[in-house]
Amino acid sequence: MADNDKNISLATMHRMPGYLRYLKAKEAEGAEYISSVGLAEAMQENPSVVKKDLSMAVVSEGKPKVGYFIPDLIRDIESFMGYDNEKDAVIVGAGKLGQALLGYSGFEKYGLNIVAGFDSNPALFGTEVHGKKILGTDKLESTVKRLGVKMAILTLPAEFAQEMADRLVGAGIRAIWNFSPVALALPSTVAVKNENMAASLAVLSARLKDILSKEVK
Angular region, 130: left φ>0, alpha ψ -120 to 50, beta rest = left
For residue 184, the one-letter residue type is L
- Whether the pLDDT of residue 1 is over 50: the answer is no
Q: What is the pLDDT of residue 200?
A: 76
List the beta strands (DSSP E) in the chain.
Answer: 33-34, 68-69, 87-92, 112-119, 128-129, 132-136, 151-154, 175-178, 191-194
Q: Which band of pLDDT confidence, cut at 50, 70 and 90, is reported for residue 87?
A: confident
Select the more confidently predicted residue: 76 or 85. Answer: 76
Give the pLDDT of residue 217: 61
- Nearest Cα neighbor of 58 from 74, 42, 41 is 74
User: Across the chain, what does the average pLDDT equal?
Assistant: 88
C-alpha dist (Å) from residue 195 to 66, 93, 135, 178, 199: 39, 15, 24, 6, 9
CATH 1.10.10.10, the chain: domain bounds: 10-81
**Does 10-81 carry CATH code 1.20.1260.10?**
no
More confidently predicted of 136 and 205? 136
What pLDDT shows up at residue 86? 61
**128 DSSP β-pair partners:** 133
> Does residue 80 sit in helix, strand or coil?
helix
Question: What Rg value do the Cα atoms of the chain yield, rounded?
Answer: 20
Report the distance separating Cα 139 and Cα 35, nearest Å: 51
**Residue intervals in the chain for CATH 3.40.50.720:** 87-198
Using pLDDT thresholds of 50, 70 and 90, give the confidence band for residue 8: low
The mean per-residue pLDDT over the stretch 89-105 comes to 94
SS3 at position 87: strand
% the chain with pLDDT above 70 = 94
Find the mean pLDDT for residues 33-37.
93
Pick the more confident residue, 215 or 187: 187
CATH code assigned to 87-198: 3.40.50.720
In this prediction, residue 78 carries a pLDDT of 85
